[in-house]
Chains A and B, each alone.
Chain A
Amino acid sequence: MDTMSNDHTGGYNRRRLLQGSAALGLAAFAGCVGTEPDDDNGADDADDGADADGMADEIDVWGWDIAARAMMLTAEEYEAEHGGTINVEEFGREAMKEDLRSRLTAGSGAPDVAMLEMIDGPAEIDTGAILEISDRLDEAGIEDDFVEGAWASLTDDDGAYAIPWDIGPTAVYYRRDVYDEHGLEADAIETWDDFIEEGQKLPDDVYMTEIPENDLDGVWRYQFRQLGNRPFTEDGEVNIYNDDSIQIAETIKRLYDEDVGRLIEGWSPAWFDAYGAGDIASLPSAAWMEGTLRDELPETDGLWGVYRIPAHEEGGPRASNWGGSSLMIPSQIDGAERDRAWDFITWTLATDEMQLLMYDEYGLFPALETTYENEEVFDEELDFYDGQPARRLFADVAEEMPEYEYSVNTPEVSDAINNHFFAMLRDDLDPEEAVENAAEEVADRTDRELA
């Protein structure tokens, strides 16, 4: 999402090109035989090539796009400081998930360290393929350095399995120029009622916000979390049919019925076009959206501002989280590789310098709470937001955001909410009915009881 390709120096590309040409020659020469397998895949020989600390000389680390590139930076710093060789491999997102899942299931061939999205946390932990790290966490004493809300999806009854990396504190992005032109006041917005009221000042061809028809579950989820809910109770009962959930459905339906929100496919060409042209004035999203807006709509640089997501009632909570990821060690990795992997993970995620480096270069908002004390970074007045110190707002939201637990059945919840909320808008159904139907569908498909 950054203009990554331009950031790399020629040297990097030349190197890759040379590697490539060498392989081309080799492949042509060796024919069907191909290249020899490299056996630096952790599990093989644990004691092989360990240094004085008992740590492996070399480990493999997997991540996708900017996350991988961010780790290339920290790996370079790590190697300079601690020695060892950290091979960071960059993948596409879905490709990495599939490849990794196969290797975790197979019980061999997995990398020494891999990225894990929080939304996938419970399902992956449930397979037993991820190393439990509670003892190491205790020994290092770093657990409290991270925002509390980030741990829920990375732990189960037995302990913790991954260290939080980045999170997505929520906020409403808004086009200052459009708000100014039509006399809307961002400061006046505290609740969704205010939001709708301000939105009605806009002319007919300009919408106050989007209603992403393909991501209604994302909208529901951040508000559900904002109100302090979890989708399943401690006993595993389906908890999505409650007053908060109904209130959220009502809010979404009001946005639609009062023509304040435009039903549109999120991230589609039409969507980007509408935000670029200012045809939609506000975008409730998370800290990571900045990078996308910078990248895809460079002409809007300096026109944006952020404020906290509206509350559902006056004085209600206005903090939530959308997205996030972590780093984990597969349980098939042991011995010297495991030690080196742990050393690299804690260096990358639990030191302020590295987290701030990754935030600065790639917009990965740190889950490491101790970084927020750095005023130089977090109170900086940013040109993109017309001088607003937006990072402080995100940091405040991060400290307040309630815990939320994804579950093994997150996909079923997403499907059900998306389908029934869309039906609610399309067929003008009662919001309570939509929520109830969604809850029943989840209960039915996951063999659970309704709470």
Chain B
Amino acid sequence: MRKQRQRDAVWKFLTYSFVIVMTLGMMVPLYWMMVAATLPQEEFLQFPPRLYPGTAFFDNLAVLHEETDFLISIWNSVFIAVVYTVLSVLLCSMAGFAFAKYEFRFKEPIFYTILATLILPIQLLVIPLFLMMSQIGWTDTFRAIIIPWLANPIGIFLMRQNMKSIPDALLESARMDGATEFQIFYRIALPAMRSSVAALAIILFLFQWDLFLYPLVILEDSANYTIPVALSGLEESRRVNFDQIMVASSLAIIPMAILFLILQKQFVSGILAGSLKE
């Protein structure tokens, strides 16, 4: 009995040590980014590096703002990511629901075709998409950034797996009570999927938030730039404006961090939910 407890304690100690070391390893670059955001460029380039915060944060921020309209880029990114996330969550949930709960012809082939598009890297899609967008006159618009990515294969897959766990009897009884199919989806299926929706929202938000090459090609006016596109302008051919990049990167993770803090509980259970086969 005591032996067992001892072994548990050792095990726990090892687990925690490992987790703490890994956490520190991941925190160090973040910490350095935030410290660097407060240093003037000369001090950033100092060697050995300075590891405690300086006082130049607002100076760096002011220069950043002069150079890039960065506040506008933050707004653009937030706007695009939020609109995209809301629309895409809705679309993916509906598709997932259909694939999980309805029978229709070619259901399986269609589903696996959608899944198969996962193997296409974004880089491959940029040029054909750019051509399509310029043919319909959508270049330099937000809708061109949002609409082509709405049907997200990962999202459809995730929602299909999770929707499968809804008991058919529940849907059946709703039908008997006279609910329309959309009401069943909206009133019964979706609320039951709250944690999966939260997980999907984070995944989709992050996808859109990090998208670089595509918006770079589509967006032309610097007033329309998203954060990654605006950041790319800070890298010059013979010098990189580290001070501004660090400030910008520090600001850029804030919305992401807020979203994750709000949704983190649901995120973990949402990701795990589809992993068990009943």
Chain A interfacial positions (CB closer than 8 Å to B): 1, 5, 8, 13, 16-17, 19-24, 27-28, 31-39, 41, 64-67, 89-95, 98-99, 102-103, 105-109, 268-270, 272-273, 288, 291-292, 295-296
Contacts and interface: CB of A to CB of B under 8 A. Distances in A.
A95 B141 contact: no
A44 to B, nearest CB: 9
A37 B63 CA distance: 29
Contacts of A95: 216, 229, 232-233, 235
Contacts of B235: 92-95
B233 A90 contact: yes
Interface size class of B (residues with CB under 8 A): 35 or more
B211 interface: no
B278 interface: no
A23 B221 contact: yes
Contacts of B131: 106-108
Interface stretch (B66-74, B159-167, B197-205, B260-268): B66-74
Given A5-B66, A95-B232, A23 B223 contact: yes
Nearest to B138: A37
Given A99-B216, A102-B126, A273-B46, A23 B239 contact: no
The 4 closest A-B pairs by CB, nearest first: A23-B223, A95-B232, A34-B142, A34-B141
Interface string B11-48: 00000000000000000000000000000011011110
B236 A17 contact: no
Nearest to B231: A92
B75 interface: yes
B45 A32 contact: no
A269 B138 contact: no
Given A91-B233, A92-B235, A32 B140 contact: no
A422 B236 CA distance: 27
A2 to B, nearest CB: 10
Contact of B76 (A8, A27, A39): A27
B185 interface: no
A292 B238 contact: yes
B141 A33 contact: yes
B143 interface: yes
A102 B217 contact: yes
Nearest to B213: A98
Given A32-B83, A93-B237, A109-B130, 10 more contacts: A19-B223, A20-B71, A20-B223, A65-B236, A92-B234, A93-B236, A94-B232, A99-B216, A108-B131, A273-B47
A99 B218 CA distance: 9
A102 B71 CA distance: 28
A383 B168 CA distance: 84
Nearest to B67: A5
Given A27-B76, A66-B236, A34 B216 contact: no
B9 interface: no
Given A27-B79, A273-B45, A106 B130 contact: yes
Contact of B236 (A13, A23, A64): A64
Contacts of B66: 5, 8, 13
A241 to B, nearest CB: 31
B210 interface: no
Interface of chain A: mostly helix, strand, loop or mixed? helix
Nearest to A43: B134
Contacts of A8: 66
Interface of B: 41-42, 44-47, 49, 63, 66-67, 69, 71-72, 75-76, 79, 83, 126-127, 130-131, 134, 137-144, 146, 213, 216-217, 220-224, 229, 232-239
Contacts of B239: 1, 292, 295-296
B232 to A, nearest CB: 4
A5 B238 contact: no
A38 B42 CA distance: 41
Given A1-B238, A95-B216, A272 B45 contact: yes
B232 A269 contact: no
28 contacts: A5-B67, A13-B66, A19-B69, A19-B223, A22-B223, A23-B223, A24-B223, A27-B79, A32-B142, A33-B141, A33-B143, A34-B140, A37-B137, A37-B138, A41-B139, A64-B236, A66-B236, A66-B237, A92-B234, A94-B235, A95-B232, A98-B213, A98-B217, A99-B217, A103-B130, A106-B131, A109-B130, A288-B238
B137 to A, nearest CB: 5
Most central of A5, A36, A292 by chain B CB within 10 Å: A5
B170 to A, nearest CB: 35
Q: Among A32, A64, A66, which residue has the most Cβ atoms of chain B within 10 A?
A: A32
Contacts of B213: 98, 102
B140 A17 contact: no
A34 B217 contact: no
Contacts of A35: 140-141, 221, 223-224
Contacts of A98: 213, 216-217
A109 B128 CA distance: 13
A16 B127 contact: no
A283 to B, nearest CB: 14
B232 A38 contact: no
Contacts of A13: 66
A5 B130 CA distance: 33
Given A32-B143, A98-B216, A24 B75 contact: yes
A98 B127 CA distance: 11
Contacts of A288: 238
A35 B220 CA distance: 11
A269 B45 contact: yes
Nearest to A107: B131
B139 A296 contact: no
